[in-house]
Amino acid sequence: MDGDLKAGQLVAAIDVGGTSIKTALVAEDLRVVHTHRTATRRVAGSVDVDQIAELIEELRSAAGTATVCGVGVAAPGIIDERQGVARAAVNLGWRELPLRALLSEAAGMPVALGHDVRTGGLAEFTVGAATGVRNAMFMPIGTGIAAAVLVDDHRLDADGYAGEIGHIVVDPQGTVCGCGTRGCLETVASAMHIARRYAEITGRPVIRAADVADAVRAGDPDAVAVWGRAVEGLAAALTTACTLFAPEIVAIGGGLAESGDTLLAPLREALVGRLTFQRVPKLVPASLGDNAGCIGSAIMAWQAVSGRAEGPA
């Protein structure tokens, strides 16, 4: 519980993941007044939509005398925000799922649906590390890599297909990615790949990129090599992004960003070394952490309640 629940209006914010679902009640000033996390329930391999409807009802009960007037839901995959459809959420077992309509009917209130990274980006653009500019990127680096992009104060969506920076090819002779393409950024710089590659080289049972970051700080040459390759891959992908979108700020999030300047310092240097005429962005750590998805979902929910659906706030 993050605050006192009082009479008034709140929205329900739901961040759906493959292993857990985070929920929150959020006031119009984006103050989080209640949070909860629960294990994700699956039916026949797919995340159970009924569980999300049940969680909305639980949030209504938790709201006490306050009224829950809208819902925002964030989920991974190809999410068509305008149509409210999960086109392809492989990790959740969803395909062409009209999630917004299903939840709106079940809850009897406005529901907004967004992609988890673009939703986190909405939060970072509005109240986080990338506020105050018209052009920005939010790039969380975890098991996968994706980006939310703000251009001239408008978030790019492209019917759910925008922002897949993790699938820019940075090593054409590299490993085949899960998407079927060889040498995607995710095969070089995702937290999972960094840990796996270091374990392959050293034979040590490392499962976390944070352990590799510790080894980098200790001067381990194998860790430095793996880390350096990841940094170069990230710099190559960001060079493309800077050329196309000219962000003023790039907020780096996800688990890898927790390594701080072990990542950001060499990444800044590598990126500046690649840019010529392009605008050089300010690289900063994202500021909202694990709360970004719920805060972004709450922003979408308040937009749905008020009838707005565009803009970073």
pLDDT band (50, 70, 90) for residue 207: confident
Q: What is the DSSP letter of 311?
A: S
Q: Let me know if the fold of 8-116+290-306 is the same as that of 129-287.
A: yes
Inform me whether the pLDDT recorded for 287 exceeds 60.
yes
Superfamily of domain 129-287: ATPase, nucleotide binding domain (3.30.420.40)
Which pLDDT value is given to residue 5? 56
Question: DSSP for 105-152?
Answer: HHHTS-EEEEEHHHHHHHHHHHHSTTTT-SSEEEEEBSSSB--EEEET
Main-chain dihedrals φ then ψ at residue 207, nearest 5 degrees: -120, -5
- CA 197, 203, 207, 213 torsion: positive or negative? negative
Q: Classify domain 8-116+290-306 by CATH architecture.
A: 2-Layer Sandwich (3.30)
Residues in a beta bridge with 4: none
pTM as predicted: 0.91
Q: Please write the tens of the pLDDT for every residue from 8-67.
A: 899 999 999 989 999 999 999 999 999 999 999 999 989 999 999 999 999 999 999 999
Which pLDDT value is given to residue 29? 93
Which pLDDT value is given to residue 167? 95
Which pLDDT value is given to residue 6? 53
The pLDDT mean for the chain works out to 93
Domain boundaries, the chain: 8-116+290-306, 129-287
